[in-house]
Structure 1
Amino acid sequence: MTVDALYVYAVVRAATPLPEGAVGVGSPPAELRTVGTGPVTAVVSAAPPKLRARRRDLMAHQNLLTGLAEAGPVLPMRFGAVAPDEDTLRAQLAAAESNHLATLERLAGQVEINVKAMPARDALAALVAGDATVRRLRDEARRRPGYEANVRLGQAVAAALSRRATEAGQQALRGLASMARATATGPDVQGCALNVSFLVARSDTGRFRATAERFAAAHQQHVDLRVAGPLPCYSFVDTRAPAPPAAVGGG
């Protein structure tokens, strides 16, 4: 990584102010500034020579994006996006200007809320009561205890818990989707039956979270519903547009 490399946090409208007190990545924290071309600008800092996903840097990145989103729409970069130099960044911003403006317009007034459906904790008793296959395998393991019987029972329990979480998660998804402008399926997460992000009007976040929490309480024997947000709209950046400013990797 050259000394002129820039760490890129986000693309925003040119008039968007930097959040008061926000700092960049690195040790000591890098000073934030903007690199603009016309109506869009990138929020950047000097790229640290040895960038790693340390908690302090991850939090600095996330807190800056959250602060920027309070002032207007944000096209967020994932942690570790680096442009080789300012000229390259300006050229890429100019080339993608119309796409960036369209995306920022689409995200105006919106936030992302992520919902993960996990198998319910402490739900074994309810599972045994409601699943004939698990009851049968449990009874077989009691009559003839052994490694294979325990493995079969364990696999059946894990599959049933995951199935119940998926079914409850899908039900929650149908109910919550009507409150969102768009949905996006997230990557697979170990132990997670469902991972979905919702594009929600900022003014509706309280109602959305309250609805999700009521569903979670009513179905706690089937699913552990985890709600995160409001978040920057990572999942709703238009992937058909030219890539936001050069992401050539952190050192």
Structure 2
Amino acid sequence: MIIMEALHLYCVLGNGVQVDSGLIGLDGRQVSDVCHRGLTALVSLTPIRAYKSMKKEEVIPYLFTHQVVLEQVMKRQTVVPVKFGTMARDEARVRKILESGYPQLTAALEAMEGKIELNLVAQWRDLISVLRQIGEEPEIRQNRAAIADRSPQETTEERIRVGQMVKVRLDQRREALGAEIALALKPLAHGLCPHALLDDRMILNTAFLVDRDREGEVGKALERLNNRYDNAIDFRCVGPLPPYSFATVEVRSFEFEEIDSARRLLELGEQATLQDAKEAYRRLVQQCHPDLISDGGKVGQKANGAFEAVTRAYRLLGEYSQVGSSFRAPDVLDTVAVKLFQLSQEPAGA
């Protein structure tokens, strides 16, 4: 029988949580709780969807609802978010997830107690003015003057070089300003997590983990920064948010066919251990490692393909062996790996 619905996981909470009976999740379904050993997962029944294969604009409404549920709950409780799109076939599977990740989840809840995430974006209000200022720096102005009376066709390389100099100066200014802003806010934060800069206007795009009761202090610090830079920098702070950048639960289930294929490739039995997998990998690598085969033609290409396949199989079995008891089908299908996903994080005291 094909399962058409499953439980969508939103977040993990501590014990003694009172879930709002009016909390509505995906598809207008009521959010409920699943409890195990002092941990509570918030879930709702929803149709199974392949979010990764959906268009971005199709996913956004579901992601928005997921985030709304988290932000409603975090007003009263410490939450550890679960990665969007995580599903479990039934409550027993949810309890299995809570049991498998129990040490990490309890530690994360303790670490995130009373804390919120604030996402800060700082960007130049007028990038053109900044570029003009850079263009007036002596070295750049001198290079521009040297080609001013010559045609673009005969000065292509020089113009490219001037453009590169401007880009270097802009990046240097951005880095210095970003460091100044982060330094001013570090005393208020337990951790900083830089995100990608999306365009040249951006100076800083960073998540800050702060105590909930210090959110007002962050606002005042941003006011001081705004005055320091004479309103030339636009500060936008989004939050409070759950600690997405500092503790998000990732759940990994394993397909038996995939595990079994990897096991057979490494010539292992169903009761093989991680040590057995390591020894099998070392043995097989001696037979197909590209560095050990000098033939650059079809033989070498075949060996390279075999090496990559063996390496992928070993990595998969290594990950599975951390949590799985054997390579038998019932054990593989019952196994779930839980880890706390954190973006690259910089300690506040760094």
Classify 1:227/1:139 alpha carbon distance in 2 versus 1 (closer, same or farther; 3 Å): farther
Do residues 121 (structure 1) and 97 (structure 2) align?
no
Q: Distance in 2 between matches of 1:32 and 1:238?
A: 19
Amino acid at match of 2:45: A
2:339 to 239, 243, 247: 243
> Kindly, what percent of the aligned residue pairs are identical?
27
1:66 to 67, 71, 85: 71
Q: Distance in 1 between matches of 2:131 and 2:237?
A: 23
Deviation at 1:87, TM superposition (A): 1.7
SS at match of 1:159: helix
Match in the other structure for 1:85? 90
Match in the other structure for 1:229? 239
Q: Distance in 1 between matches of 2:182 and 2:42?
A: 34
Unmatched tracts of structure 2, length 5 or more? 250-336, 341-350
Deviation at 1:103, TM superposition (A): 1.4
Unmatched tracts of structure 1, length 5 or more? 245-251
Q: Distance in 1 between matches of 2:29 and 2:84?
A: 15
SS at match of 1:143: coil
Q: List aligned pairs for 1:68-217, cutoff 5 A.
A: 68-118=73-123, 121-122=126-127, 123-129=130-136, 131-146=137-152, 148=156, 149-186=158-195, 188-191=196-199, 192-217=202-227
Over residues 1-60 of structure 1, what are the superposed CA-to-partner deviations in whole Å (9 max), with x where a residue is unaligned? Answer: 93342211100123333457542223xx23211111131111111233334553322221
Classify 1:21/1:150 alpha carbon distance in 2 versus 1 (closer, same or farther; 3 Å): farther
Match in the other structure for 1:7? 8
Match in the other structure for 1:248? none
Aligned residue-pair number: 240
Q: Distance in 1 between matches of 2:89 and 2:146?
A: 64
Over residues 134-162 of structure 1, what are the superposed CA-to-partner deviations in whole Å (9 max), with x where a residue is unaligned? Answer: 32344345333526254434333333222
Q: Distance in 2 between matches of 1:17 and 1:144?
A: 75
Amino acid at match of 1:228: V
Deviation at 1:211, TM superposition (A): 0.8
Q: Distance in 1 between matches of 2:71 and 2:21?
A: 12
Q: List aligned pairs for 1:22-61, cutoff 5 A.
A: 22-26=23-27, 29-50=28-49, 51=51, 52=54, 53=56, 54-61=59-66
Q: Distance in 1 between matches of 2:111 and 2:138?
A: 49
Over residues 192-221 of structure 1, what are the superposed CA-to-partner deviations in whole Å (9 max), with x where a residue is unaligned? Answer: 454332211111112112212431442368
Q: What TM-score does the superposition give when structure 2 sets the normalisation length?
A: 0.60
Classify 1:55/1:141 alpha carbon distance in 2 versus 1 (closer, same or farther; 3 Å): farther
Contact map agreement 1:133 1:156 (CA 8 A) in 2: no
SS at match of 1:10: strand
SS at match of 1:47: strand
Q: Distance in 2 between matches of 1:237 and 1:210?
A: 27
Deviation at 1:176, TM superposition (A): 0.7
Q: Distance in 1 between matches of 2:35 and 2:62?
A: 24
Q: Distance in 2 between matches of 1:232 and 1:121?
A: 32
Amino acid at match of 1:155: Q
Q: Distance in 2 between matches of 1:87 and 1:59?
A: 27
Q: What TM-score does the superposition give when structure 1 sets the normalisation length?
A: 0.80
Deviation at 1:90, TM superposition (A): 0.6
Deviation at 1:233, TM superposition (A): 0.6
Contact map agreement 1:6 1:45 (CA 8 A) in 2: yes
Amino acid at match of 2:206: V
Structure number with larger C-alpha Rg? 2
Contact map agreement 1:33 1:43 (CA 8 A) in 2: yes
Over residues 76-116 of structure 1, what are the superposed CA-to-partner deviations in whole Å (9 max), with x where a residue is unaligned? Answer: 12322222432222112023223322211221111011223
